[in-house]
Amino acid sequence: MPEVILLDLKLPKIGGLEVLRRMRADERTRRIPVVVLTSSNEEKDILTSYDLGANSFVRKPVDFAQFVEAARQLGLYWLVMNEAPPS
């Protein structure tokens, strides 16, 4: 199982919020930390993400170098500093 999931809201066949809803409803994936990483700046998306159990909401930087740095920092926090629930 993954240690953390970076989830975009804008997916081709099923929306990211529906993916999150299904993950939280499934016992196998319920506790995996989910970081919504998206270009959306809609307040509704932020609120719904947290209501559905997202652990964090991060806007994707447009600049590639800034995106790479944001991904690095997310990895550092969620994979090194964060203590995940026991499996």
Task: Say if residue 85's pLDDT is above 90.
Answer: no
* pLDDT band per the 50, 70, 90 thresholds, residue 63: very high
What is residue 86's predicted lDDT score, i.e. its pLDDT? Answer: 81
pLDDT (tens digit, 9 = 90+) per residue, 12-53? 999 999 999 999 999 999 999 999 999 998 999 999 999 999
Full-model pTM = 0.91
Task: Say if residue 64's pLDDT is above 80.
Answer: yes
Residue 62 neighbours by CB under 8 Å, 6+ apart: 39
